[in-house]
Structure 1
Amino acid sequence: MARVRRNKSYKLAKIYDRRSRELPFNADVTEVEVDNPLALDSGEKILAIRSIRGDPLGRLRAHHQIDEAQYLGGRAFQNDWERAERGPQAMDPTREYVDGARTREPVTESQRQAVLRLNRVERELGTDGAALVHDVLILGLTMDQIAVRRAVRTQRWNDYFARRFRECLDRLALVYGFATATGAQRAERRG
């Protein structure tokens, strides 16, 4: 009986590539570096594709319009907002039914800290800056949509809102500790 020959060696087999080759026609993605969930050593990174279609902060970061400190400050604001938000909640079928009255869940310490940080952010940004940051980071509005909401529809206003939003991100980076104040900024805050 003849022996079967193998054409390829197992040692020379290529590593399986898990990257997607085909994307939907309207996909808006960027490559990001994330921790490898299958790594044996901690801290190993891999490249992944992340959708930035509904994420204005991710889009700004992907197009190099904001830096890392501004990005992290915006993400910290979003995290605090989600933690502090206590909006409509679904009925919990595991809880005992008592005449339709629901007891309020107690405020946790993390929620309380998030509300305190959000109050400080609002003081630092001012009313207009806090509203602008909320519109972009929480509601996901573009500068055009913000201009329409405020009844100003020129490119000059769009540029102003974009510049003001970056200033607010700078202030968020300072408040959350991702950046340090320069000498001019310290003098401005004192005065």
Structure 2
Amino acid sequence: MARARRKKPHNPAKAHDRRSRDLPRNAEVAAIEVDDPLGLEPGDKIVTLRSIRNDPLGRLHSHRHIDEAQYQGGRAFQADWEKAERGPRAVDPTREYVDGGEMRESITEGQRKAALRLNRAERELGADGSALVHDVLVQGMTMEQIGQRRGLRGQRWIDYFARRFKECLDRLALMYGFATEKR
């Protein structure tokens, strides 16, 4: 006769494994360390997964092609672009139709400051650099797609655009204050 196994007593100090085991079929994820929202001590960290499928900046950072300052500079540029952008608004079919139009929303102070920072970034990066940064950070294009769009094919052009993009990220990191000038 088999011997009955005794269960171990519950230990509340033992951490629970909250990691997801199932991922979608075409998922591209990378591990990242973040602050634990359920942590008892301030500064507790957990390892979580982030999607890098449609995030070229996150992909470069997770593969260690760019450093933390370049990554933060790129994210700051993306945040300013989202603040300053005033795209078309969706039509609300539940609202009553009225002749005439609504008054346009006034520009907020945050939008104004973001637009000023974007203008400064465009001046510092130049026309080609700002176009390259916009293609990668706003439109999510890869270096190969940028080369094809400009009619420049081949590995040498892909390498050139990658090097030039890193230079632009260095400039953004300096501009946003995430890095200091080298001596």
Q: TM-score, normalised by structure 1?
A: 0.86
Structure 1 unaligned runs (5+)? 184-191
- 1:17 match: secondary structure: coil
- Residue matched to 1:49: 49
1-structure distance, mates of 2:127, 2:170 = 16
1:137 partnered with 2:119: no
Q: What are the Cα deviations for residues 35-82 of structure 1, in whole angstroms up to 9, with x where unaligned?
A: 211123332211111111110000000000000000000000000000
- Residue matched to 1:108: 108
2-structure distance, mates of 1:39, 1:69 = 27
Structure 1 15/178 Cα, relative in aligned 2: closer, same or farther at 3 Å? closer
How far apart are residue 93 of structure 1 and its match?
A: 7.2
Residues 119-134 of structure 1: pairs in structure 2 closer than 5 A: 119-134=119-134
Residues 50-89 of structure 1: pairs in structure 2 closer than 5 A: 50-89=50-89
2-structure distance, mates of 1:109, 1:96 = 31
How far apart are residue 9 of structure 1 and its match?
A: 3.1
Q: What are the Cα deviations for residues 94-119 of structure 1, in whole angstroms up to 9, with x where unaligned?
A: 98864140210010000000000000
Deviates more, 1:145-154 or 1:91-100: 91-100
Alignment-mate amino acid for residue 107 of structure 2: V
Structure 1 102/37 Cα, relative in aligned 2: closer, same or farther at 3 Å? same
Residues 140-151 of structure 1: pairs in structure 2 closer than 5 A: 140-151=140-151
1:162 partnered with 2:159: no
Deviates more, 1:17-26 or 1:71-80: 17-26
Alignment-mate amino acid for residue 17 of structure 1: D
- Residue matched to 1:40: 40
- 1:33 match: secondary structure: strand
Number of equivalences: 179
- 1:60 match: secondary structure: helix
- Residue matched to 1:26: 26
2-structure distance, mates of 1:147, 1:28 = 23
How far apart are residue 6 of structure 1 and its match?
A: 8.2
1:179 partnered with 2:176: no
RMSD of Structure 2 on Structure 1 (CA): 2.1
- Residue matched to 2:8: 9
1-structure distance, mates of 2:15, 2:76 = 37
Q: TM-score, normalised by structure 2?
A: 0.90
Identical counterparts, % of pairs: 67
How far apart are residue 12 of structure 1 and its match?
A: 4.9
